[in-house]
Structure 1
Amino acid sequence: MDSQTFFRKLGVILALFLLIISIGVPLLLIFWQSIYPEQHLDWLAPIRTIAGHELSGILLQSIWLGVCVVAGSTLFALPLAWIMAKTRLGEHRWVDVILMIPFMTPPYIGSMGWILFMQKGGYLQQWLPGAARWSESFFSFGGMVLIMSLHLFPFLYLLLRDALIRIGGNLEEAGAVHGAGAGYRFRKIILPLLLSSYGMGAMLVFVKTIAEFGTPATFGRRIGYYVMTSEIHKYISSWPIDFGKATSLASVLLSVCLVMWYMQSTVSRRFTYRLVGGKGQRSKRYSLRGSKGAVSALYIGLLLILSVGIPYFSVIAASLMKLRGAGLSIDNLTLDHYKELLSWGSVSLKALGNSLGLSLAASTVAVVLGTGFALTIGKSQGRMQRVIDLFSLLPNTVPGIVMVVGLILFWNAPWMPVTLYNTYGMVVLTYVVLFLPYTVQYVKASFTQIDGTLFQAGQVFGGGPLLILRRILLPLIMPGMLAGWIMTFTIASRELVGSLLILPPSMQTSATYIFAQFEQGQVSLGMAMAVVSVGMTVVLLLMVEAMNSKRKWNAS
C-alpha cells in the first residue's frame, strides 16, 4: 500500500469517527434514554410516556400543524410558481430576491412582528379602529398556520418554479393538439410532472414546521397551542427537569421526521421523470392581458406585503417608538433604543458580541471540518464515503431541538472524561454540529465540478500534494468554502433553541436577548436588536456578493 492510499484511508476513518462521535452517538443516546427508563429495557416506553401523561394530544397537534402549514404553503407557492415560470412576470427577478428575505429572517422575529401588528391596540387597529374583530380572529390556530406558511412557502415555491421551467412546452402543445383544455392539461400533464418536486418541498415544509420552536414559543404560547418542540424545551429548561419525558418526545419527533423522509424518497423514486435531454426544448409562456395580468400582479404584491412588508414594518416601527401606547406618529419616533443597545458595556452589546464571537468560531471550525468531510466524500461512490455523506447530512434531517438534547445527554454524561456542558465550547460544538451540512454540501458541489485532469497536470509538472492543494484545489473550492462559512455564520448568529438550552448561566446571545426582551415587555429594545442582527446579515451577504462580482469581472 503506497503512502497516498494509506493517508486516504486514514482520512476516511478519521472523518467517520468524528461524525459518529458528534452526531451518531448523541442520537443513539436519545433512543437509549427513552427505551431504558428506571434501569430496565422497555421498547414501548416512549409510547407509554406519551400516552400515560396525556402527551399524545401534543403529538397530534404537531402533526396537524405540519399538515395545515403544508396546505397553506401550497396555496401560496403553487400559483406564484406558475406565474413566475409561465408568464412574462417571471422576468422580474427582483421578486425572487425579495422572497429570499424570509430565509434570512428568524421565524421568531417574523412571529413577533405579526403579534405587534395584529394585537389589541396594535398597528392595524391604530390605522383601522374597526379591525378589532380581525385581531381576535387572528390569534387562533389559523393565525399560527398563516404565520408559519408565509415563512416557509419560499422553500416550496423555488422547487415548483424550477420544475415548471423544466417542463417543455411541447408536452402542453401535444395535449392541446389532441383537444385537451387548459384545466385538463394542468391536471393530467403538469401536476404529475410536479409531484416529485412537490413531494420534496412538502416534506421540507412539514419537517421544518414540526421542528420549529420560535413561532410556537411566541405565538403558540399566547393562544395556548403547544407542540412537541415547546414541550421538550419545557421539560429540559423548567424545574423539575425531566429528561425521561424530553427524550421520549424527542425520539418520537425524530421517528416522525424519518418516516416523512422515507415517504418522500418513495414518492420521488416512483414519480421522477426525465425532463431534460439532448434535444432542445422551451417552456411554454402565457400572455396575461387585462384583468388576468392585473390579478397576477396584485397576487404577487399582496404576497410580498404579507410575507415581508408587515413583519419588517412592525419590527422596525417598534424599535423606533418612544412610548408604545402613544401610537404611530412622527413625534413618537426615536433612536434612543439603538443608542442604549449599542452603548459600551451594556448587556445588549455583550449579547451581540457573544453572538458574533461564537458564530465566528463555529463557522470557522465548521468550514475546516466540512471541507475535510467533503474532500473525503469526493467523487467516490464507495460504501464508507456514502456513510460519511449520510452522517454529514443527518443534522439537516433531525429537528434542531432533538440534536441539542442528544448533545446535552452525551457531553453531560457522568462517564465522560471531559464535560463540555455549561461552557463556551459546548455552544460552539452545538453550532458546528447543527450547521455542518451547509459547508459539506457547498464544498462538495464545488469539488465535484473539478476535472481530475487538472490534478494530473499538476503532478506531471512536478507538483507535490501540498502544492497541488494550495495552488489548484483550494482556489477552486474557495467559493464553496466561503458560501458554507457565510451560511453557518449567518444562521448561528441568530440561532435560538440551541442557545436557550446550552448557554452557560448569565450569558446571552442576540437571539436569547430578543426572546427575553419580548417576553418581559421590553419590546422596543428587542426589536432594535432584531433590526441590528438582520441588518448585519444583509450587509455581510452584500459584501460577499460584491466580492464575488469583482472576482468574476477580473476573471473575465
Structure 2
Amino acid sequence: MSPVSMDSNRILRRAGLLLSFFLLAVSIGIPLLLIFWQSVTPNQRLDWMAPLRTITGQSLSGVLLNSVWLGICVVAGTTLLAMPLAWMMAKTRMGLHRWIDVILLIPFMTPPYIGSMGWILFMQKGGYLQQWLPGAGALSDSFFSFWGMVFIMSMHLFPFLYLLLRDALIRIGGNLEEAGAVHGAKAGYRFRRIIMPLLLSAYGMGVMLVFVKAIAEFGTPATFGRKIGYYVMTSEIHKYISSWPIDFGKATSLASVLLSVCLVIWYMQSAVSRRFTYRLVGGKGQRSKTYSLRGGAGWLAGLYLAALLLLSIGIPYFSIIAASLMKLRGAGLSLDNLTLDHYRELLSWGSVSLKAIGNSLGLSLAAASVAVVLGAGLALAIGRSGARLQRIIDLLSLLPNTVPGIVMVVGLILLWNAPWMPFTLYNTYGMVVLTYVVLFLPYTVQYVKSSFSQINGLLFQAAQVSGAGPFYILRRILLPLIMPGILAGWMMTFTISVRELVGSLLILPPSMQTSATYIFAQFEQGQVSLGMAMAVVSVGLTVLLLLGIELLNSRRKWTGS
C-alpha cells in the first residue's frame, strides 16, 4: 500500500472516531450532564448539595432506600435462581438440551408489567389460584408484600445472570478441578477455592446489570408496588414529570441521585473485574469436566428446572391468556365464560388498538434499523485498539446500559426542550425513535464488537495486497463476517423497543399510543382483559417476526448466499 493511501486511511479513521465521539457526546453525554446541572442549579444558582437537600427535605430518602434495598434483594433472588441452573447447564448433560436456553429467554421477552399483572391476577383474592384451591387465602395475603415483589422481579431478571454465569462456567476447564482433586480437595473446597474466584468477574457484571435493571424498573413498581404501597425512585420521577404540577427540579434531583448510585455500582463492578479476571482460554485447548446426575440428584435437577419454568413462564402466561379470553372476570374460569370478543375489538379495522400496534411496529423497526447502522459504525470505529479516544467512545456507547432508562429519558427531554437548541424534536415521531436508539444502542455495539473481534486481521491485509480497495473489502469481506452480529443486534433492539414502557409514557406525542402504553392505560382503566389481549397479540407478533428473520437467516446460511 502506498504512503498516500496509508495517510488517507489514517485521516478517514481519525475522522470516523471524532464523528463517533461527537454523536455519542450529544446523544448520551450531554443529556446526563444536563441532569446533573439542572439538579444543582434549582434557583439558577449553583448548589452542589441541592439534590441531597431535595431528597431529605421532601421525605424522599425512604424512597431512595426502598430502591436500593429492592435492588439488593433482587440480586440475591436472581443469584439463588441462576447459580444452580448455570452449573447444571454448564457442568452436566442437561446442557446438551439447547431448547432449554431458548425457553428461558421467554421471561426476557415478556414486558415486566405484563408478567406482574399475570401474577396479580393469579394470586389476588378470588384469583385463579383461589378458584382452584379455595383454602389458599393465607398464601395470597402473604404474597402481596415486599417479598412477593422481589420474587416477581427475580423471576423476570434471572436469565441475565444465568447466561453470564453459564458461559463463565463453560470457559473454566476441567483441568483446574482435576488438579485440585489430585491434591485431595473435596468437591465443596474446589468450588469455593477454584470455581468461585474464577466466576467473580462474570458474577460482578451480572450483579451490576441485575441491580441497575431492578432499581430502574418502572412497570412492576407501577402495578404490583402501588398495590402494596411500596414506592421507588422510578415511580416518583415519573410522577413529577407526568402529573400536574410538573416539577423538573425534583425529577432531576432524584434522577441525579439514582444515576450516582448506579455509577458507584459500576465502579465497584469494574474494580472486582480488574482484580478477579483470569485468562482461561489458551492455545492448548481445554475440556470441560462433566458431572453425571443419577438417581436422586437427577430427579432433583429435573424438578428444579420444571419448577423454574412453571413459575417464570407457566403461571404468568396462563393468567395472561386466561384473562384475555374472559367475558366477565368475576364469573371465574369456565368454558361458558370464554370469548374471542376482546381480540375482535382489538383487531377491528381503524380502532385505536390497531393503530397502537402499527405505531409500535413502525417505531421499533425504525429504531432497530437506525441503531444497527450506528452501532455497527461505532463498533468498527472502536475496533481492537486501546487508544484513549476509542476507550472513551466504548464507555459512552455502554453508558445507557449502566444507567436507569428513566434517567436517560429525562436527560433527553431536557436536551431537546433547551431554549438554545436550533430545533426541537420533543412531541414528534423522531423523538421516540431517537429515545429508543439511545436506550438500546449498547446491545448492537456489543454484538457487532463480538463478531468483529473474532476476525483475523490477516484477511484484510491479504485483500489489500491483492489490490482490493476499502469499499470492496467492506462489502465482500467485512460485512458478510459481521452480519450475524448485526442481525442479532437488530433483533435485540427491535424486541426491547416493542415492549418499552417508561420512555414511551414520557415522550410520546399526546395523540399517539404504542402497544405498551395502550396495555398500561387499559390496566389503569380496569379493562384488564383488553390489555391482556393486546399483550398476547404484541408478544405473538414479535415472536413470529423474529422467527421469520431467523428462518431467512438459516436459509441464507444453507444456500451459502
Q: One-letter code of the match for 2:367?
A: A
Partners of 2:309 and 2:31 in 1: CA distance: 40
* Distance (whole Å) between structure 2 residues aligned to residue 444 and residue 88 of structure 1: 31
Structure 2: distance between partners of 1:8 and 1:271: 34
Alignment of 1:21-420 (within 5 A): 21-420=26-425
**What SS does structure 2 have at the residue aligned with 1:37?**
coil
The verdict on how the C-alpha distance between 1:79 and 1:461 changes in structure 2, with shifts beyond 3 A counting, is closer
1:25-64 per-position Cα deviation (integer Å, ceiling 9, x unaligned): 1100000001111011111111111111111111111010
Distance 1:114 1:365, change over 3 A: same
Cross-structure match for 1:4? 9
Q: Which amino acid aligns with 1:12?
A: L
The answer to whether 1:423 aligns with 2:452 is no
Moved more, 338-347 or 533-542: 533-542
Aligned to 1:39, the other structure's residue is in SS state coil
Compute the TM-score of the two structures, normalised by the length of structure 1.
0.96
Distance 2:501 2:198 in 1: 38
1:392 deviates by 1.2
1:144-172 CA-partner distances (Å, limit 9, x unpaired):
00000111111111222222223333333
Shift, 1:457, TM fit: 4.1
Q: What CA deviation, in whole Å up to 9, does each residue of 1:84-109 have, x standing for no partner?
A: 22222232222211111111111111
Unaligned runs of 5+ in 1: none
Which AA in structure 1 matches 2:352? V
Amino acid at match of 1:154: P
Corresponding residue pairs, total: 556
Identity of aligned residues (%): 82
C-alpha distance in structure 2 between counterparts of 1:273 and 1:10, whole Å: 35
Residue 461 (structure 1) shift: 4.4
Could you tell which deviates more after superposition, 346-355 or 279-288? Answer: 279-288
| Residue 533 in structure 1 maps to residue 538 in structure 2 | yes
AA partner of residue 440 (structure 2): F
- Cα distance in structure 2, aligned partners of 1:69 and 1:44: 30
Alpha-carbon distance in 2 for matches of 1:522, 1:406: 33
* Structure 2 CA distance for aligned equivalents of residues 74 and 261 of structure 1: 18
Q: Which amino acid aligns with 2:339?
A: T
2: CA distance, partners of 1:44 / 1:134: 45
In structure 2, distance between residues paired with 1:163 and 1:517? 42
Residue 552 of structure 1, CA deviation: 2.4
- CA–CA distance in 1 between the matches of 2:290 and 2:446? 33
Pick aligned residue for 1:552 from 554, 557, 561: 557
Change in 2 beyond 3 A, CA 1:4/1:269:
closer
**Residue type of the alignment partner of 2:153:** M
Offset, 1:379:
2.7
Q: Distance in 2 between matches of 1:172 and 1:373?
A: 40
1:82, 1:108 → 2: CA distance?
Answer: 30
- In the TM superposition, residue 361 of structure 1 has moved relative to its aligned partner by 1.6
Matched to 1:115, the amino acid is I
Q: Judging changes above 3 Å, is the alpha-carbon distance between structure 1 residues 440 and 281 closer, same or farther for their aligned structure 2 residues?
A: closer
- Compute the RMSD of aligned alpha carbons: 1.7
* Unaligned 5+ runs, structure 2: none
Residue 425 (structure 1) shift = 1.3
Aligned-partner Cα distance in 1 for 2:67–2:106: 26
1:292-327 deviation digits (Å, cap 9, x = unpaired): 211111111001100111111111111111111121
TM-score, with structure 2 as normaliser: 0.95
**Which of 486, 491, 502 is the aligned partner of 1:481?**
486
Distance 2:267 2:434 in 1: 29
Deviation at 1:506, TM superposition (A): 2.3
Q: Does 1:439 align with 2:463?
A: no
Would the alpha carbon gap of residues 524 and 46 (structure 1) be closer, same or farther in structure 2, given more than 3 Å must change?
Answer: same
Q: Deviations over 1:348-385 (max 9, x none)?
A: 00111111111122122212222222222223322222
2:43 is paired with a residue whose SS is helix
Q: Which amino acid aligns with 1:148?
A: M
Change (3 A) 1:237 1:142: same
Corresponding residue to 2:521 among 516, 521, 540: 516
Q: In the TM superposition, what is the alpha-carbon distance from 1:66 to its structure 2 partner?
A: 0.6
